[in-house]
């Protein structure tokens, strides 16, 4: 307990500093393109980091994690449109509904391993996508939710204002990342690492592997839904593409580009992929080809993400300094 408190205090300080910097960005560089970019990155950061809870910390590669991103967007949008509730109540409905969905899907998927787990999650995602397309009276079909999402004021926050929407998205991202950081640095997080490295040994030591994996699956699904909710607020709607298999593919790309061995890796990957999409799309109509080449370079050539390289370099520098100090003492 005493070791965990300084770590959490340090993470809280870092999160506070990061939040202050990002909130000040529009004042230092007033640009609508910048605010739009940061809001999109906020949504994708929550999504990619939640995926890494499964991939990097639990060893479960999900090809269908986008189902929770899309479900969160639709659940939040429909709560605001059909129920007319306040935004905090809609968030609670979204979190509880996503947790229930993740529990039901996870109870089936987690019984399978490796590639079978990956493809059964993809099958459930495509089932949700098909329901969204087919259930036109509720979801709007391939046109998405029609009429926009209401943004009623709450506690002095008016999400109809771009500045308030920006601050709300950034705060939700930082709070979400801090919560996930607390999860991975808790005893439960180290239990997930043990399951990832050796599930048989973890079971032998008395850990209920299925229950731990299901809990991680639910937590990851809830935070992915929060990312979808941020995106729904940004575009004032929800669209089938949010729940399509391509969204899961983008999440995996973000994790690969940023790195799985560091907590901030998926966020860095979200920034890199969003920048690549924006830059390449403006330069050529063959953006898919160029983006695919970049992904192949990281996946097959470098085999590491951006933050993985930085972490390795910092580790090498520490080891070199430690060796130099040991040599001086001798």
Nearest one of 30, 54, 5, 43 to 213, comparing CA atoms: 54
pLDDT band of residue 284 (cuts 50, 70, 90) is: confident
**Total domains in the fold of the chain:** 1
Query: So what's the pLDDT on residue 1?
Result: 42
Q: Is position 314 within any domain?
A: no
pLDDT attached to residue 53: 95
The pLDDT tens digits of the residues spanning 123-142 come to 999 999 999 999 999 999 98
> What value does the mean pLDDT of the chain take?
89
In 3D, which of 269, 322, 325, 267 has the Cα closest to residue 298? 269
- Structure token pair of residue 227: 């990312």
pLDDT of residue 87: 92
Q: Which of 29-33, 204-208, 300-304 has the highest mean pLDDT?
A: 204-208
Its sign, for the CA torsion 312, 318, 322, 325, is positive
For residue 316, the tally of other CB atoms under 10 A from its CB is: 10
Q: Band of the pLDDT at 63, cuts 50, 70, 90?
A: very high
Whether 28 is covered by a domain: the verdict is: no
Residue range 272-280: mean pLDDT, rounded: 86
The fraction of the chain above a pLDDT of 90, given in percent, is: 62
The pLDDT tens digits of the residues spanning 76-110 come to 999 999 898 999 999 999 999 999 999 999 999 99
Instruction: Work out the average pLDDT over 202-215.
Output: 93
Q: What is the pTM of this model?
A: 0.91
Instruction: Please report the pLDDT score of residue 4 as a whole number.
Output: 52
pLDDT at site 329: 62
With respect to residue 80, please indicate whether it lies within any of the assigned structural domains.
Answer: yes
Residue 295 has what pLDDT? 74
Percent of the chain at pLDDT > 70 equals: 95
Cβ 63 vs Cβ 250: under 8 Å: no
Query: For residue 310, is it within any domain?
Result: no
Reduced to 3 states (helix: H, G, I; strand: E, B; else coil), residue 157 is strand
> So what's the pLDDT on residue 2?
43
For residue 304, pLDDT beyond 90 = no
Burial class (CB in 10 A: 0-12, 13-18, 19+), 51: buried
DSSP assignment string, 234-247: HHTS--GGGGSHHH
Q: Residue 102 falls within a domain, yes or no?
A: yes
Residue 131 lies in a domain: yes
194 vs 199: CA distance, rounded Å: 7
Per the model's pLDDT, the better-predicted residue between 116 and 287 turns out to be 116
What is the domain extent for residue 207? Answer: 33-244
* Residue bearing the bigger pLDDT, 154 or 125: 125
Per-residue confidence (pLDDT) for residue 279, from 0 to 100: 81
Identify which has the larger pLDDT, 307 or 23.
Answer: 23
Q: Is 154 helix (H, G, I), strand (E, B) or coil?
A: strand
Whether 278 is covered by a domain: the verdict is no
Q: Is residue 291 part of a domain?
A: no
User: CA-CA distances (angstroms) from residue 45 to 102, 227, 255, 296?
Assistant: 19, 7, 10, 22
pLDDT in tens, 24-51: 998 888 888 899 999 999 999 999 999 9
In this structure, the number of other CB atoms found within 10 A of the CB of residue 10 comes to 10
Model confidence at 283, pLDDT cuts 50, 70, 90, reads confident
Place of tokens 């966020």: 267
Q: What's the burial of 64, exposed, middle or buried (CB within 10 Å: 0-12/13-18/19+)?
A: buried
pLDDT value at residue 3: 47
Higher pLDDT, 269 or 294: 269
What is the mean pLDDT of the segment spanning 228-243?
93
- Answer whether 89's CB lies under 8 Å from 241's CB: no
């Amino acid at each position: 307990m005493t070791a965990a408190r300084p770590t959490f205090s340090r993470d809280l300080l870092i999160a506070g500093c990061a939040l202050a910097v990002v909130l000040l960005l529009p004042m230092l560089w007033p640009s609508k393109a910048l605010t739009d970019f940061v809001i999109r990155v906020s949504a994708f950061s929550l999504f990619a980091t939640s995926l890494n809870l499964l991939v990097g910390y639990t060893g479960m590669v999900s090809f269908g994690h986008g189902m929770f991103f899309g479900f969160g967007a639709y659940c939040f949008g429909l709560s605001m449109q059909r129920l007319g509730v306040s935004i905090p109540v809609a968030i609670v409905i979204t979190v509880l509904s996503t947790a229930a969905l993740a529990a039901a899907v996870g109870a089936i998927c987690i019984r399978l391993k490796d590639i079978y787990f990956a493809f059964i999650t993809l099958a459930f995602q495509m089932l949700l996508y098909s329901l969204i397309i087919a259930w036109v009276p509720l979801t709007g079909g391939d046109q998405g939710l029609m009429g926009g999402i209401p943004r009623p004021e709450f506690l002095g926050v008016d999400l109809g204002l771009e500045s308030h929407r920006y601050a709300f998205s950034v705060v939700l991202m930082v709070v979400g990342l801090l919560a996930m950081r607390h999860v991975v640095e808790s005893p439960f997080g180290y239990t997930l690492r043990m399951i990832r490295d050796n599930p048989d040994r973890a079971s032998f030591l008395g850990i209920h592997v299925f229950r731990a994996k299901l809990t991680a699956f639910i937590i990851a699904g809830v935070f992915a839904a929060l990312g979808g909710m941020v995106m729904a607020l940004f575009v004032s709607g929800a669209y089938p593409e949010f729940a399509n298999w391509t969204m899961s593919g983008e999440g995996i790309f973000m994790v690969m580009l940023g790195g799985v061995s560091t907590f901030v890796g998926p966020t860095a990957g979200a920034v890199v992929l969003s920048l690549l999409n924006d830059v390449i799309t403006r330069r050529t109509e063959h953006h898919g080809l160029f983006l695919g080449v970049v992904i192949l370079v990281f996946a097959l050539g470098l085999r590491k993400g951006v933050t993985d390289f930085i972490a390795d370099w910092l580790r090498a520098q520490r080891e070199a300094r430690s060796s130099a100090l040991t040599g001086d003492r001798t």
